[in-house]
Amino acid sequence: MLHITDTGIGMTKEELVKNLGTIAKSGTSEFLNKMTDMQEEGQSTSELIGQFGVGFYSAFLVADKVIVSSKHNNDTQHIWESDSNDFSVINDPRGDTLGRGTTITLVMKEEASDYLELETIKNLVRKYSQFINFPIYLEDIMNLSICHFQTETVEEPIEEEEEEAAEKEEAAEDEAEVEEEDEDKDKPKTKKVEKTVWDWELMNDIKPIWQRPAKEVEEDEYKAFYKTFSRDSDEPISHIHFTAEGEVTFKSILFIPASAPRGLFDEYGTKKNDFIKLFVRRVFITDDFHDMMPKYLNFIKGVVDSDDLPLNVSREALQQHKLLKVIRKKLVRKTLDMIKKIAEEQYNDKFWKEFGTNIKLGVIEDHSNRTRLAKLLRFQTSHHETTPSSLEQYVERMKEKQDKIYFMAGTSRKEAESSPFMERLLKKGYEVIYLTEPVDEYCIQALPEFDGKRFQNVAKEGVKFDESDKAKEKREALEKEFEPLTTWMKEKSLKDNIEKAVLSQRLTNSPCALVASQYGWSGNMERIMKAQAYQTGKDISTKYVL
């Protein structure tokens, strides 16, 4: 049997029948009818579970019988007992054993005996009720070391041979122990005894620091809470503690871990996010929502605690609740604010190395926050050998009449720098962004412009430079001079392979280069697409012994 006792106000006999008998006797179908009636009458059903509604009735999932003993100040102690089919209420023959309060006794089903294990109960309490306001104690076995003081010595008679041997031994030790005996003469002798006792152990000893105002919580408290809550030995990169008000009110603390969780992109988009824990009135509800945070923020850890969400519906129904969508929107905004406030040096050295790909995926996936996410992007550029630059920094360094942001994609920085398309740009002092990750070009394609400047892939047509009237005249003259050659290449020699041939403005050392059309794939993108097409999963035959 499992006993659960509180020291609340208790219930009278009438309240036992009213609050327990009606629901427990009725069964699930009548409970649903009752809830429907309450909704039609305009009554709130959000507190039904707190009034021994469906939560109490679920006890019969693990118990054959439920016994409730309760003592109210205005009544004698009564016992309510039910096997889910019928119930009875009698005066407690034991008298007033509770003083005031209620004890629920579950006579467990044989197949539910695991719930009688101390470790199982501890884990359940710590998971679901770690942060509720009231202390929860579990009676547990403890081993204590007890010291007994010996005040007198009882001598027992011994045989003559034993006496002679003892005298010789004492004589040999006398000289060495004279001083010790003088010192220990007045000290009482003690004896340690191990004793096993039952005692109460506090289960919910971690306080919900998100319930306190942020200005009252010390930095060390956040770090200690994070390590306990997330079971991570490293300190977080950053955190944000806030209270959201409006359509829904909730409190939250969000953390950015020091390193990316293992397998962060395994099953990306299909794996449930278990790093955001949802509480309702400090009672843990779930951590397996698909949509608590968007996919690209699947590394964020934290808690969300709301008093506005209902407790009396299933987790599946709660996941579709309209208020949850409001919570998600606010969590994303606060997370992006938190990331934005990370110091530049720490951002590049820690955050971007661990979670840069997530931000790029966010630009691709999150249309509503694309502008905010674009400001968080970092790329290697021709401006500096090692330090990445933001798009804001790039725009600040743009030439006076430069109207586009130039980028070059490749498998490495070295490959991008050595491309023929870079020759004229670097010679003229234009800064070029290097896209060296497979996701980079997708990211830029999803971002049509930044700060009013459009992006230009230097491996595609359309690269133009500001030129004087004299330079323009010279270019037009050269185009006319080489027109027979370009026409011949387009219409005869390479007519099956190229769309057109033009005199290049971007080459200085290389004689020619193949350029992608404005809306076609660049060479790098074509390589990525081919690599994806050739990828196959492992197909291990089970017909042969390996």
pLDDT tens for 518-533 read 666 666 776 766 666 5
Residue 234: how many CB atoms within 10 A of its CB? 12
The DSSP bridge pattern shows strands 453-457 and 78-82 to be unpaired
Q: Is 458 annotated as a binding residue?
A: no
Mean pLDDT for the chain?
80
pLDDT of residue 166: 56
What proportion of the chain, given as a percentage, has pLDDT over 90? 35
Residue at 107: amino acid letter: V
- Confidence tier at 53 by pLDDT (50, 70, 90): very low
55 is annotated as contributing to ligand binding: yes
Q: What is the dihedral of CA 444, 403, 434, 339, to 10 degrees?
A: -60
Q: Please check whether residue 369 is in contact with residue 419, taking contact to mean a CB–CB distance below 8 angstroms.
A: no
CATH architecture of the domain with range 2-116:
2-Layer Sandwich (3.30)
Task: Enumerate the CATH 3.30.565.10 domain ranges in the chain, comma separated.
Answer: 2-116
β-partners of residue 409 are 435
Distances (CA, A) of 366 to 86, 372, 447: 55, 10, 11
Q: Write out the residue limits of the CATH 3.30.230.80 domain(s) in the chain.
A: 209-352
Q: How far is CA 410 from the centre of its chain?
A: 34
Distance CA 105, CA 98 (A): 14
Q: How far apart are CA 431 and CA 390, in angstroms?
A: 13
Distance CA 64, CA 82 (A): 9
**Residue 53 annotated as binding?**
yes
Which is higher by pLDDT, 242 or 479?
Answer: 242
35 assigned binding-site residue = no
435 by DSSP, 3-state: which? strand
What pLDDT, on a 0 to 100 scale, did the predictor assign at position 219?
A: 94
Answer yes or no: is 19 a known binding residue: yes
Q: Please write the tens of the pLDDT for every residue from 442-500.
A: 999 999 899 999 999 888 877 777 666 777 777 778 778 777 887 887 777 777 777 77
26 is in an annotated binding site: yes
Name 340's Cβ contacts closer than 8 Å, sequence gap at least 6. Answer: 372, 375, 376
The CATH label, of 2.60.120.590, 3.40.50.280, 3.40.50.11260, 1.10.260.40, for the domain at 377-465+505-537 is 3.40.50.11260
**Which residues, other chains included, contact 320 with Cβ-Cβ below 8 Å and sequence gap of 6+?**
none
Q: Is 54 annotated as a binding residue?
A: yes
Alpha-carbon Rg for the chain in angstroms: 38
Give the per-residue pLDDT at 375: 96
CATH 3.40.50.11260 positions along the chain are 377-465+505-537
Average pLDDT over residues 79-106: 91
Structure confidence at residue 28 as a pLDDT band (50, 70, 90): very low
Rounded to whole angstroms, the Cα distance separating 299 from 273 reads 9
Please say whether the dihedral angle defined by the alpha carbons of residues 214, 219, 224 and 230, taken in this order, is positive or negative. positive
Q: What is the pLDDT of residues 324-378, one digit of tens each?
A: 889 999 999 999 999 999 998 899 999 999 999 999 999 999 999 999 999 999 9
Instruction: Return d(Cα 446, Cα 425) in angstroms, integer.
Output: 24
Comparing 60-64, 96-100, 121-125, 178-182, the range with the smallest average pLDDT is: 178-182
For the segment 108-112, the average pLDDT, to the nearest whole number, is 89
Structure tokens at 183: 């010192």
Annotated binding-site residue? 315:
yes
Tell me if 11 is assigned to a ligand binding site. yes
Tell me: the pLDDT tens digits for 272-294?
666 899 888 888 888 877 778 89
Beta carbons within 10 angstroms of residue 11's beta carbon: 23
Q: Is 27 annotated as a binding residue?
A: yes
What was the pLDDT predicted at 26? 43
Residue 345 φ/ψ, nearest 5 degrees: -65, -45
- pLDDT at 144 exceeding the cut of 80: no
Q: Indicate the fold that domain 209-352 takes in CATH.
A: Ribosomal Protein S5; domain 2 (3.30.230)
Question: Which of 309, 375, 303, 301 is CA-nearest to residue 337?
Answer: 375
